[in-house]
Structure 1
Amino acid sequence: MKKPKLTTVLRAAGDVIHIDDAARSLAISRVQAAKTLSAWAAQGWLQRVGTGIYAPVSLDMRGSDQTVTDAWLLVPALFGPAYIGGRTAAEYWDLTEQLFRDIVVFTARPIRNRIKESGGAQFTLRQISESRIFGIKSVWRAHTKVSVSDIDRTMLDILDDPAIGGGIQHVADCLDRYLRKNDSKPDRLIAYADQLDNGAVFKRLGFLAERHQLGAALVTACKARLTKGYAKLDPTLTCDRVVTRWKLKVPATWIGVSSHD
């Protein structure tokens, strides 16, 4: 049975507990609160998920390898201001049926390592400026409001960095589903890309859209925004062919292949 003081803290804090939550709800100093939370973690009631940040452990998980039931709950506390995006958001918006182990997070906080494990989950981090956090939806997970890129910003982010989209082939597959979905807004995708102001996005998007039977409007918009210089379709791949009309370097296997089917 949980301790009365712990119950008080959980009711006040919600899904994730900070030292200040414990200090405020128990009317004790931050030093006392930190010691109390640490003791509860040692007893298995809480799990430390970050500096001064704890998550409750369910009764059936006590004494076992502890994992947070919903790792999305940790994102605001560990990385905020931040949003969930990339291939993780692509799963959320049904742009893919592929499942990924990690959770992709775009954060305005400084990061030392791109990979962080906490609460039994693996987070892949990408640092961006706070001014570039736009095109975001708020979703409720338990009692915590979490930010996730909307469907159009999700598509933009994986075009900007195909690696966080699971690679360019997966990005192309996501674009196929994006163009077929009623809730996607290609005009908003272009507006977001204008705001991001990365010429490589228009080159990749134009090239991929040209190969799709529903991509004509995107092709026109991208052609009007071509910038000088050449970009790679996927910077992680060997791109030994040049598509001059899109100023894009692509792998040889992508020449002459259509996605109209």
Structure 2
Amino acid sequence: MKHETFFRKHPVFTGEEFNDHLASLGKTGPRTRESLLNYHRNTGHVILIRRGLYAVIPIGADTDSYPVDPFLVAAKLTADAVLSYHTALEVHGYAYSIREHLTYSASRPVSPVTFRSHVFRGVRYPQSLCRAEKVDFGVTTVDRAGLEVRVTSLERTLVDVLDRPALSGSWEEIWRSLEAIEFFDLEKVVEYALLLGNATTIAKVGFYLEQHRESLMVEESHLKPLRDHRPRQPHYLDSSNRKSGKVVGDWNLVVPVGLLKRTWGEVL
């Protein structure tokens, strides 16, 4: 019963967390942990996700089909994992579509993990944040099954998905997801964009805000610091997918015509 309380409160848990639980009961040592975990795995009460990471299955439930929250899995793949990019949009409830690829940020991500139908991919924190010692800028927590999960805020997520669009899908997916969000703290958006220090990303953020000036109540005071740091020469909106487009002079961005006109078929 002592272990049942732990399992109930930790539907997904790490070996270190189980160690701490055993230590609180006065039980220590790797053999104790391994024998207990092996017992619960043999009974189907605990399943292995990857080395050092486990999920709890209610007694009597099917170990192959009982749902395991993939966001909890992603959040526990490293000690400092932060759900980010499109996955953050999903957690916040604003993703236009649901993906089976989940993304988290960490200082040292583990190799990609496949569990059931999901693939978990970690990316390193941006170097600019590491240099400034601000990797936690715009990181918040949400409750998932009684556990606190770290996730990027809406403001950081807006900038991140524009910074690395390949991690969030097509431009239609990105635009439709972001447009579902009715409010941003624009001061935080600008601060984070400037903190990343990438001129192209800064221009993309400025372009997005200007495109939604009325709905997001964007003021010139938000756009000017971004405009001051735009690229000196035109840059593609997506450097990895250099399709022809129209130069938006205010931001020195080459933007696909399909995105400007919202004819999504031309963007995909």
TM-score normalised by length of structure 1? 0.79
Q: Which structure 1 segments of 5+ residues have no match?
A: none
Tell me whether 1:224 sits opposite 2:223 in the alignment: no
Alignment of 1:114-133 (within 5 A): 116-118=113-115, 121-128=118-125, 131=133, 132-133=135-136
Q: Per-residue deviation at 1:170? A: 2.3
After superposition, the Cα gap between the structure-2 partners of 1:230 and 1:71, relative to the gap in structure 1 and judged at 3 Å, is: same
1:143 is matched with which residue: 113, 121, 146? 146
1:133-164 deviation line (CA, Å, top 9, x unaligned): 32011122223211111110110110111122
Contact 1:12 1:21 (C-alpha < 8 Å) held by counterparts: no
Q: Which of residues 252, 255, 258 in structure 2 aligns to 1:247?
A: 252
8 Å CA contact 2:12–2:53 kept in 1: the answer is no
**1:185 CA drift (Å):** 1.3
What are the within-5 Å matches in structure 2 for residues 11-50 of structure 1? 15-18=12-15, 19-21=18-20, 23-24=22-23, 25=25, 27-50=27-50
- 4+ runs deviating over 4 angstroms: 11-15
Give the structure 2 partner of residue 171 of structure 1: 174
Unpaired segments of 5 or more residues in structure 2?
264-268
| Alpha-carbon distance in structure 2 between the residues aligned to 1:10 and 1:175 | 36
CA distance in 2, matches of 1:136, 1:42: 38
The residue type equivalent to 1:226 in the other structure is R
TM-score (norm 2): 0.77
> Do the aligned partners of 1:85 and 1:106 also contact (CA within 8 Å) in 2?
yes
Identical positions, percent:
20
Aligned twin of 1:55: 55
Decide whether the 8 Å contact of 1:241 with 1:251 is kept in 2: yes
- Does the CA contact (< 8 Å) of 1:105 and 1:125 recur in 2? yes
Secondary structure of 1:62's aligned partner: coil
Root-mean-square deviation (CA, aligned residues, Å) is 3.0
1:127 CA drift (Å)? 1.7
1:57 and 1:11, CA in 2 relative to 1: closer, same or farther beyond 3 A? closer
CA deviations over 1:170-224 (Å, ceiling 9, x no partner): 222334334xx14x11221001111111111122123333433525645444222
Query: Hey, what's the Cα distance between the residues in 2 that align with 1:57 and 1:26?
Result: 25
Task: Rate the CA distance shift 1:201–1:40 in 2: closer, same or farther, 3 A.
Answer: same
**Greater displacement, 47-56 / 192-201:** 47-56
